[in-house]
Amino acid sequence: MAKKQRKISIRIDENMAEQLMELGKSEKSTNLSGSARTAIEKGLGMREGWEKRQEMQKLIYEINKIGVNINQIVKDHNSKIYSIGDKEKLNFLLEQVIEKLENIKNMITEENKNGNIKVEKIKGK
């Protein structure tokens, strides 16, 4: 986060102060200044999609972990120590990857419909 160097002063009524503090509580802000910054960031669209981006990062991380498991199974297969249980585990893991990729696709599609992201088609070689 950037260092806060500018100071501004504004006057607000009690009702707005209470609303800012309520917003701060929901955003885990501890003071009125933090609540005001949160409100400004939201108003400027700086926090839009933040939760979805975090969720997408989590899904990508889970897919990577599944990929590690798949690589271990493939290594065992190539070493001729592949079992029926490995085949079942591989099928289960691949189903998980497909499910998580579908979740990511749905999130991107929803964000695209809302106009929050621009999706460009990647051209293959």
Q: What pLDDT digit, counting tens, does each position of 44-58 carry?
A: 555 556 677 778 888
| pLDDT for res 122 | 45
Q: Which pTM does this prediction carry? A: 0.43
- Mean of the pLDDT values across residues 87-91? 84
| pLDDT for res 124 | 47
Mean residue pLDDT across the chain:
76
CA atoms within 13 A on the CB side of 50: 8
H or E stretch covering 111: helix 84-113
Q: Which of 47-51, 72-76, 81-85, 101-105 has the lowest mean pLDDT?
A: 47-51
Q: State yes or no: pLDDT of 94 exceeds 60.
A: yes
| pLDDT for res 117 | 57
In the structure, what pLDDT confidence band is assigned to residue 21 with cuts at 50, 70 and 90? confident
| pLDDT for res 116 | 59
Of 119, 100, 98, 111, the residue nearest 61 (C-alpha): 100
- Mean of the pLDDT values across residues 98-111? 82
- N-terminal to C-terminal alpha carbon distance within the chain: 39
Q: Which of 11-20, 28-37, 45-54 has the lowest mean pLDDT?
A: 45-54
